[in-house]
Amino acid sequence: MSHTAELIAVGTELLLGNIANTDAQMLSQGLSTLGINVYYHTVVGDNPQRLKAAVELAKTRADLIITTGGLGPTCDDLTKNVLAECFGKKLVFDEGSAQRIRDYFARLHPDRPMTDNNLQQAMLPEGCTIFSNDWGTAPGCAFESGGVRVIMLPGPPRECRAMFRYRAIPYLQDLADGVIVSRTLKLFGIGESAMEARLRDEMQVMTNPTLAPYAKEGECELRITAKAADHHQAISLIAPVEAQLRGIFGDKVYGADIGSLEEAVLALLKGQKKTLGTAESCTGGLIAKRMTDLPGASAVFRGGVVSYSSEIKKSVLGVPADLLDKYGAVSAQVAKAMAEGARRVLGCDLAVSATGVAGPDQDDRGNPVGLVYVALATDKGTYVREVRAGSGRERIRTVASHHAFDLVRRYLTGLLIF
Amino acid sequence: MSHTAELIAVGTELLLGNIANTDAQMLSQGLSTLGINVYYHTVVGDNPQRLKAAVELAKTRADLIITTGGLGPTCDDLTKNVLAECFGKKLVFDEGSAQRIRDYFARLHPDRPMTDNNLQQAMLPEGCTIFSNDWGTAPGCAFESGGVRVIMLPGPPRECRAMFRYRAIPYLQDLADGVIVSRTLKLFGIGESAMEARLRDEMQVMTNPTLAPYAKEGECELRITAKAADHHQAISLIAPVEAQLRGIFGDKVYGADIGSLEEAVLALLKGQKKTLGTAESCTGGLIAKRMTDLPGASAVFRGGVVSYSSEIKKSVLGVPADLLDKYGAVSAQVAKAMAEGARRVLGCDLAVSATGVAGPDQDDRGNPVGLVYVALATDKGTYVREVRAGSGRERIRTVASHHAFDLVRRYLTGLLIF
């Protein structure tokens, strides 16, 4: 399989800027993992002529066209009509899809009758492969015509993601000789340019697996992608590369195929049956929020204190007034006292704290924007780290919370904390 | 000015799915406000041939082409070369831009010399209008050729947004006869479909101003856009429509041209010199995080307690054990006690709480996913609201936090709380 793909998103709401085309991002990531090149994204509105023009052009330069959006029941939804016309297919009624739509409605709205326009969604191109939709009403589909393969997916991001993952990817893999498997190492504590510079020579000579670096908000990723006859063989191509990378980057690698630092921390806490609490100043609740974004956090996360004012650092966390007077709220000493106070007040095994200057202005002691202290209190003592978290309020808070999670991860895996 | 615009984003990172094309969303919103229709978005990689094909096509169907990305110093950055070629322009060296680039570097990296490739950014199409860049190094530019107007903006979203707002919009407005002004009303407490149904008749007959409804995660917006000879006249077209809408939707309108509920709350707290605190269970720090996303929150936000476990509800917030035993953590009674406890412990004028079932599973008392109680404690008593916050962990937490802010807003503006 050596496809050249083009993505066409259909929806006036995209051209008005009501939403961003995140479907294209998600599909591009997935197609890249499958080794399929994407050369163009196009967005058109709910307009048959302009959609037709985009499809006719795509036919001349791609052998895989994936559309998103325009499959629903309202008159705006035109993708199937236009695509069928462009490829000389008739739309035919599919009773199986109609029944699924009726069932979906009965389940979701037991109290009101389904309007007939919903059954338009069961009209599908003759001879297509139907992608049944367990996450909404509009089925997707795929067909091949004149050497071009077409896949149509619904537009709502949640449906599009699920339909791509559970319907389109298996369909594409069935067409391929062999499989494509990838594995993503997640790193914290190294910059993107340092990571890339270290790997430049290796990456240039690698063909299978390939290695792709990514960076976002203070974190880095390395994706290893192998093509092979079967899954087992792909894994055995990936394993030595992973070992080599782990050798190079050591304990900066915090996991493989894992979503985030807080997921790594949650797994470690559960495995070691330890509880966590937080004491937050500049991060203002972000560390607790990230922890509780994860289902199942309640097993190990007890809670936290957002001590945004000095009074609450004193009254709730018991930070001594003289520490605050002498060193100021943004100091290693206060970070330490906050973490220790949270551990005591919340009755947890471990507590992390963050105090710093998120900006836009320096604090009243002249500490610069971006200076943050994070601390971890444990039964073996308290660790403090000084961080320069860059600039921009959001970035500073994000990076500060990364560091708090990194302290917990390093402690629970027995690594040196510095 | 009656432009048809097409957006072309340049960058392989978009085709790999490393980032979403949020520049296109931001530009589309802005162009829509200016009354400019956008018919296509296209994304191409760092490839001269494919970019050239996209530009040649855009020339045939748009009279305004805006490119984003590909203006930087590395060899990947090719937008100016290709656009100049497509429109038969030469690139010429602009000493003013070069000096700005040298100054920017000297300010940002006083310790290391600037490499010469940075000065490539000062090569610009002959006769263009230069958009100086105060947010990065690469200048943008605009020119007209054969009835097509071209604007080139840098790709990084922060730079793109600022350059569009402060350079491209004034440039476009100078071309227009008259001005386009819009004002956005923000609503909470009404669903999108109810809002649209109420306005359908009005919207169909309106031509100037126009009215555009939007919805996102439990909130709604109504954008009023007027075209007129000058700003004063536009405002006088908007004012009666705004008054009419405020009459229809009453206290569901929480502000105009304001970013969010928490911004409205922050302004009210500051105006009335009142302090706020939080007690969060299911929202896990999100309310505090949203509050502290805003610069200047420290003037009125004292802090919060994330009481994710029952122990912390008791030990830190002083929620009576018998309330928890009798009614369970997800109950109006516990929401009330949490808010009152937070107000007492944090020493603030007002305290909000949230306790509910964020899922994925119902709680151990059989309360359904999405059931949330929010409460507001004040010196005049405590208010509690029961909320059905929908499904999906993220949505439930977001909607719950909206309701917490809505309680504060209604209380501080003297509205009925229900």
The CATH number covering residue B269 comes to 3.90.950.20
Question: Measured in whole angstroms, how far is the alpha carbon of residue A283 from the centre of its chain?
Answer: 21
CA distance B359 to chain A (A): 7
The residue among A391 and A379 whose pLDDT is bigger is A379
Is the pLDDT reported for residue B3 higher than 80? no
Tokens at residue A153, please? 């997916």
Q: Where would I find the H helices in B109-191?
A: 157-163, 169-175
CB–CB contact B312 A346 (8 Å): yes
Domain-terminating residue out of A232, A256, A280: A256
Across the strands, what pairs with B368?
none
Which of A13, A33, A41 is the best substitution to test chain B (most B C-beta atoms within 10 A)? A41
The residue among A197 and B297 whose pLDDT is bigger is B297
Question: Measured in whole angstroms, how far is the alpha carbon of residue B138 from the centre of its chain?
Answer: 25
* Cβ within 8 Å of residue B212, ≥6 positions away: A16, B32, B222, B223, B225
Contact A47, A17 (CB under 8 A): no
- pLDDT for A76: 57
Task: Mark whether A151 and A98 lie in a shared domain.
Answer: yes
Cis peptide before A213 (omega within 30 of 0): no
* Mean per-residue pLDDT, A217-227: 86
Task: Mark whether B129 and B200 lie in a shared domain.
Answer: no
C-alpha distances out from residue A395 to A216, A367, B21, B49, B64, Å: 10, 17, 20, 36, 34
Tell me the C-alpha distance between A164 and A5, whole Å: 14
* Mean per-residue pLDDT, B329-350: 98
Domain count, chain B: 3
**A1 band by pLDDT with thresholds 50, 70 and 90:** very low
Q: Would you say how long chain B is, in residues?
A: 418
Q: Would you say how long chain A is, in residues?
A: 418
Q: Would you say residue A417 lies in a domain?
A: no
C-alpha distances out from residue B94 to B44, B116, B163, B383, Å: 28, 15, 18, 64
pLDDT averaged over chain A?
Answer: 91
Q: Would you say residue B418 lies in a domain?
A: no
Q: Which of B26, B301, B316 lies nearest to residue A17, judging by beta carbons?
A: B26
CB–CB contact B20 A15 (8 Å): no
CB–CB contact B43 A45 (8 Å): no
CB–CB contact B25 A25 (8 Å): no
Contact B21, B7 (CB under 8 A): no
Task: Mark whether B51 and B168 lie in a shared domain.
Answer: yes
Is the pLDDT reported for residue A221 higher than 50? yes
Q: Tokens 């969303």 correspond to what residue?
A: B25
Tell me the C-alpha distance between B381 and B340, whole Å: 9
Q: Would you say residue B357 lies in a domain?
A: yes
Task: Mark whether B340 and B323 lie in a shared domain.
Answer: yes
Chain B, nearest residue to A43 by Cα: B41
User: Kind of pairing, strands B210-216 and B219-228?
Assistant: antiparallel
Task: Mark whether B79 and B209 lie in a shared domain.
Answer: no
Residue B135's closest CA among A128, A391, A74, A207? A391
* Cβ within 8 Å of residue B82, ≥6 positions away: B48, B51, B52, B55
Domain-terminating residue out of B234, B256, B278: B256
Q: Which of B54, B309, B346 lies nearest to residue A312, judging by beta carbons?
A: B346
Count how many pairs of residues, chain A against chain B, have C-beta atoms within 8 Å: 233
* pLDDT over 70 percentage in chain B: 98
CA distance B27 to chain A (A): 7
Task: Mark whether A141 and A129 lie in a shared domain.
Answer: yes
Note the pLDDT tens digit of each residue in A5-15.
999 999 888 99
Q: Tell me the chain B residues in contact with residue A26 when contact means C-beta distances shorter than 8 Å.
A: 17
* DSSP3 helix / strand / coil % (chain A, rounded to 5): 45, 25, 30
Domain-terminating residue out of B136, B153, B175: B175
SS3 for A267? helix
* Mean per-residue pLDDT, A192-216: 82
The residue among A71 and B298 whose pLDDT is bigger is B298
Is the pLDDT reported for residue B74 higher than 70? no
CA distance B182 to chain A (A): 14
Task: Mark whether A235 and A308 lie in a shared domain.
Answer: no
Q: Tell me the chain A residues in contact with residue B298 when contact means C-beta distances shorter than 8 Å.
A: 308-309
Q: Would you say residue A418 lies in a domain?
A: no
Task: Mark whether B120 and B32 lie in a shared domain.
Answer: yes
Q: Would you say residue A238 lies in a domain?
A: yes
Note the pLDDT tens digit of each residue in B345-355.
999 999 999 99
Q: Residue A21 sits in a domain of what CATH number?
A: 3.40.980.10
**B390 band by pLDDT with thresholds 50, 70 and 90:** confident
Q: Which of B18, B19, B286 lies nearest to residue A289, judging by beta carbons?
A: B286
Is the pLDDT reported for residue A354 higher than 50? yes
CA distance B20 to chain A (A): 5
Task: Mark whether A15 and A131 lie in a shared domain.
Answer: yes
CA distance B289 to chain A (A): 5
* pLDDT over 90 percentage in chain B: 69
Element housing B37 (H / E) = strand B37-44
Contact B334, B317 (CB under 8 A): no
Quick one: CA torsion of A396, A372, A288, B410, rounded to 10 degrees?
A: -70
CA angle B63, B67, B68 (to 5 degrees): 155
Note the pLDDT tens digit of each residue in B88-106.
999 999 999 999 888 877 7
Domain coverage including residue B251: 179-256
Which of A289, A307, A396 is the best substitution to test chain B (most B C-beta atoms within 10 A)? A289
Note the pLDDT tens digit of each residue in B17-58.
889 999 999 999 999 888 788 999 999 998 899 999 999 999
Task: Mark whether B309 and B244 lie in a shared domain.
Answer: no
| ipTM at complex level | 0.77
CB–CB contact B32 A14 (8 Å): no
* Mean per-residue pLDDT, B251-258: 95
Q: Where would I find the H helices in B71-191?
A: 79-86, 95-108, 157-163, 169-175
CB–CB contact A311 B305 (8 Å): no
Note the pLDDT tens digit of each residue in A319-353.
999 999 999 999 999 999 999 999 999 999 999 99
Across the strands, what pairs with A129?
A142
Q: Tell me the chain B residues in contact with residue A292 when contact means C-beta distances shorter than 8 Å.
A: 283-286, 306, 308, 358, 397
Task: Mark whether A162 and A222 lie in a shared domain.
Answer: no
Q: Residue A191 sits in a domain of what CATH number?
A: 3.30.70.2860
Task: Mark whether A326 and A350 lie in a shared domain.
Answer: yes
